[in-house]
């Protein structure tokens, strides 16, 4: 990893948002895994281990479905326990968890407690309950930003649900048409991550790429 990449990814807060809706129990489209949930666990452990280098005080983890839980100061070795305490069931209320993530970011910004920036990493497999509200939460938070890489959202799609792919592509490509101040969403599939490093995927997310 280059020093330039290390500098850009360091001194940030990292938040992982993990879909635990009922469809995450499906496994037909994740070769080598019993379920999307199992694939998400492996990827979350890898992501946590990677970002621990940049955010040594631990990351924030939100498993979500119809509601969500919040775990603070999580180190890579604690990820497995979070997956044991949660299992796939319920809907996909992504807008609710993103609202909480963005509200906490806004509070820290107002209090002057932000680091160089925050990276929100979302692992999900399907369409959210309310697409318009998800887009709305992202558009709203961009209007509180002063620079591009102050807040970034990297979305990783597990599985191959076509409707989810269409929605995530919309978030990646079209939010500025709906009033977003910055393009802060970057979308990758788990297949993409097999062909690029996690570091490159996170760097891309800083530019909304």
Q: Which domains does the chain have, with CATH numbers?
A: 3-206 (3.40.50.410)
CA distances in angstroms from 192 to 53, 155, 181, listed in the order given: 23, 12, 27
Residue 208: per-residue pLDDT: 64
Q: Which residues contact 128 (CB under 8 A, 6 or more apart)?
A: 92, 93, 94, 95, 134, 167
The answer to pTM > 0.85 is yes
Contacts of 137-141 with C-beta under 8 Å, sequence gap 24+, read 137/95, 137/98, 137/99, 137/102, 138/98, 138/171, 138/175, 138/180, 138/184, 138/185, 139/175, 139/178, 139/179, 139/180, 140/102, 141/102, 141/105, 141/106
Residue 126: per-residue pLDDT: 79
Residue 209: per-residue pLDDT: 62
The DSSP code for 68 is: B
Residue 88: per-residue pLDDT: 97
Residue 2: per-residue pLDDT: 63
Task: Tell me how far apart the alpha carbons of residues 37 and 88 are, in angstroms, rounded to a whole number.
Answer: 7
**Cα Dmax for the chain:** 46
Q: Could you list the pLDDT tens digit for every one of the 209 residues in the chain? A: 567 777 888 889 999 999 999 999 998 898 888 899 999 999 899 889 988 888 888 899 999 999 999 999 999 999 999 999 999 999 999 999 999 999 999 999 999 998 889 999 999 997 898 999 999 999 999 999 999 989 999 999 999 999 989 999 999 999 998 899 999 999 998 888 877 887 888 888 877 66
Assign 183 to helix, strand or coil: coil
Specify the DSSP element, H or E, that contains 172.
helix 162-173
Task: Tell me how far apart the alpha carbons of residues 99 and 107 are, in angstroms, rounded to a whole number.
Answer: 12
Contacts of 105-114 with C-beta under 8 Å, sequence gap 24+, read 105/141, 105/151, 106/141, 106/144, 109/144, 114/13, 114/150
Which alpha helices (H) appear in 52-155, and where do they start and end? 79-85, 94-110, 131-142
């Amino acid at each position: 990893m280059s020093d330039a990449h290390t500098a850009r990814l360091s001194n940030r807060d990292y938040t992982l948002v993990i879909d635990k809706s009922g469809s995450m129990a499906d496994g037909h489209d994740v070769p080598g895994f019993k379920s999307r949930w199992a694939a998400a666990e492996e990827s979350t452990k890898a992501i946590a281990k990677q970002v621990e280098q940049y955010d040594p005080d631990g990351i924030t983890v939100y498993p979500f479905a119809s509601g969500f839980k919040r775990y603070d100061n999580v180190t890579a070795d604690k990820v497995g326990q979070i997956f044991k305490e949660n299992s796939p069931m319920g809907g996909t209320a992504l807008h609710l968890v993103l609202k909480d993530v963005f509200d906490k970011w806004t509070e820290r910004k107002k209090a002057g407690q932000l680091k160089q920036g925050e990276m929100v990493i979302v692992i999900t497999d399907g369409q959210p309950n309310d697409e318009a509200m998800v887009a709305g939460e992202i558009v709203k938070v961009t209007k509180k930003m002063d620079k591009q890489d102050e807040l970034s959202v990297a979305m990783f799609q597990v599985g191959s649900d076509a409707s989810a792919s269409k929605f995530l592509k919309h978030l990646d490509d079209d939010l500025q048409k709906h009033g977003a101040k910055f393009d802060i969403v970057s979308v990758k599939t788990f297949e993409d991550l097999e062909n690029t490093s996690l570091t490159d995927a996170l760097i891309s997310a800083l530019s909304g790429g």
